[in-house]
Amino acid sequence: MSTRSTHSPKGSIAAGHQLTAEAGADMLRNGGNAIDAAIAALAMSCVCEPVLASPGGGGFAMLRNAGSGKTTLLDFFPQTPRQKRDRPAEGFHSITADFGSATQVFHIGPATVATPGFLAGLSALHRQGGTLPFADLFSPAIVAARTGHVVTDYQHYLSTVVRPILTATEAARALFAPTGDLPVAGSVFRNPGLGDMYEELAKKDWLQTGIAGQILKEQELGGYLTQDDLTGYRMEPRAPLSFKVGAATVHLNPPPAAGGALIRYALMHLEGRGRTAFAGALEAADCARLSARGDLQSLLDRLVRQQGTTHISTVDAEGNACSVTVSNGTGNGEIVGGYGFMLNNILGEEDVNPHGSADWPTDQRLASMMCPALIDMPGERLIALGSGGSSRIRSAVFQVVARLCLDETALEDAVRASRLHVEDGHLDLELPGADADISTLTDRFADHRLWPEKNMFFGGVHAVSTDSQGTFSGIGDARREGAAVIVA
């Protein structure tokens, strides 16, 4: 879905669900700015995109302050616990997710939980420039959680993939499968506990509510988190990875996240135009990832490829912008008290724990593929974009940025264009809109898979833009049921 307006709009937002986008748009209508819109949208995403977003996870936000012109990256990604314990196998078990054409093993349980940063991130975002009170920002999410929302086809599909996680415990089954099975598309899903949580958060900091105590109670059965982990967690502001691409300046997620570095590497090694050139640049970046040579070494240590991610992009008429990507992994199967959300399973990621249930560094912010981005285009045009999609985040963002900055492609066309992904010598290629370079690509990559239709596998880039003339545009990627709203 895409929109465009030149009639004195207040701002624009694009996200992974219509309700997520509408929650942010409501803040813009009520006098809020882009940061307010992002906070409201993040709260709503946990309600209507529960497989992808949760207060038990974390993420990254790229901000532009209109007053100062400063661009800042806020890192509120989960942190590894400060200490390990004996008998690490306790609280750690495996399930198999069914994607239809393939299956994948995930690790869940209390021992897979890293210190969540989502709630600290909401507070940090508000301190960075939010203007509306939390009671207003959380109001749409509270209403939707208590009265219910209609389950979409995409959200139903995601829930069926991770059914073993959503039904892993009695509390999880009571929330996500109260009738014995997961809600079908078109049915109404309610989560009043999450509404109660937001009502508490509107009045006091999350560490002063009952949330922290319930997290620690869930961790008693084999988890690692302590009170010190929760109270000691800090959001980390970072200078963005900024560089020129053509006449534009691109701002990406810096270290210790790795997504931005790999996207920059691909852009710097892009020779020519078109999909063959894109494949070559992505192959070069993937080879660098595999060999971890040069300055990529530190970025690629314990790189986390989040399986469940969603993205929100907002801009306003004053020139503020927020591009934010969040993840809960796939969830650990445990519900936090009566608060209606699941904790992350970041410590259960194979990339974090290649040799066992406790093979992770203590008290460390892990590297991530997530990469919210801002682009300063010629003519004082500002673009905010990002994507979900695990390891495909880097290829999705790379291709959209290259089309925008080097080919001067329209925002909507750059997002809708067919994509490819190169990893471990394997090529995945969307066929819709393909041209004569298909044979060249398949000859170059003997190990390949052709996708007859555009697919969520290739990420979901949700993007918005504004310029000095007051023109706003936005697009939510149809691959992941994205939506965009312009507020006039």
pLDDT tens column, 398-432:
999 999 999 999 999 999 999 999 999 999 999 87
Q: Can you tell me the mean pLDDT for 369-393?
A: 95
What pLDDT, on a 0 to 100 scale, did the predictor assign at position 103?
66
More confident call, 334 vs 305 = 334
Catalytic site includes residue 409: no
Closest CA to 365 of 416, 303, 442: 303
Query: Is 70 exceeded by the pLDDT of residue 394?
Result: yes
Measured distance CA(268)–CA(278) in Å, rounded: 11
Measured distance CA(255)–CA(60) in Å, rounded: 12
Amino acid, res. 417: A
Query: Is 70 exceeded by the pLDDT of residue 222?
Result: yes
Average pLDDT, the chain: 90
0.85 surpassed by pTM = yes
SS3 annotation, 34-103: HHHHHHHHHHHHHHHCCCCCCCECEEEEEEECCCCCCEEEEEECCECCCCCCCCCCCCCEEEEEECCCCE
Q: How far is CA 293 from CA 166, 212, 287, 421, 422, in A?
A: 39, 41, 9, 21, 19
Q: Can you tell me the mean pLDDT for 119-141?
A: 97
Question: Can you give the C-alpha Rg of the chain in angstroms?
Answer: 21
Q: Which of 20, 309, 314, 466 is catalytic?
A: 309
Pair 175, 196: CB distance under 8 Å? no
What pLDDT, on a 0 to 100 scale, did the predictor assign at position 138?
98
318: DSSP letter:
T
Query: Is 90 exceeded by the pLDDT of residue 106?
Result: no
Q: Can you tell me the mean pLDDT for 47-76?
A: 97
Measured distance CA(288)–CA(340) in Å, rounded: 41
Q: Which residues contact residue 102 at a Cβ distance below 8 angstroms, ignoring those fewer than 6 apart?
A: none
Q: Which of 289-293, 395-399, 417-421 has the lowest mean pLDDT?
A: 289-293
Distance of alpha carbon 221 from the chain centroid: 29
Beta strand 472-475 with 460-466 is antiparallel
Distance of alpha carbon 223 from the chain centroid: 25
Query: Is 60 exceeded by the pLDDT of residue 306?
Result: no
